[in-house]
Amino acid sequence: GETCYSLRIQSTNPPPSPTPPVGTSICTYAPEYDCYKTGHPACCLEDGGANCPDYLTLCDNHAEGETDFYYCFDTPDKQCYNNSVGQPSCCSE
């Protein structure tokens, strides 16, 4: 018999982690530029968002001198949030 050798070099790097489906984590939600400078929380830029919480974080896209601009302070929207306060449930935690 014959021995065949592949000329393709096998990578020693592990395959990349699959990207989560759109909208399944705070890093894959639709960009929110009114709240975040990059459209997503800053934690999404570190380690692919692996250390981000399961809830949206404080906004970082606010005027100079303003601090703690937060979506929980927005006008209640009971059509968007199906609860008595019209805000994300994490706002009342």
* Whether the Cβ atoms of residue 40 and residue 27 lie closer than 8 Å to each other: yes
* Whether the Cβ atoms of residue 35 and residue 61 lie closer than 8 Å to each other: yes
Q: Which residue type is seen at 30?
A: A
* Residue 72 pLDDT: 73
Q: What is the DSSP letter of 16?
A: P
Distance CA 73, CA 66 (A): 13
As a whole number, mean pLDDT of residues 70-89 equals: 75
Q: Which two tokens stand for residue 9?
A: 């070099």
Average pLDDT for the chain: 75
Q: What is the pTM of this model?
A: 0.48
* Residue 9 pLDDT: 58
CA dihedral 57, 60, 63, 68 (to 10 degrees): 40
Top pLDDT among 58 and 71 is at: 58
Residue 8, C-beta contacts closer than 8 angstroms, at least 6 positions apart:
none
Residues 2-35: pLDDT tens digits?
A: 655 555 555 666 666 556 566 678 898 888 888 8
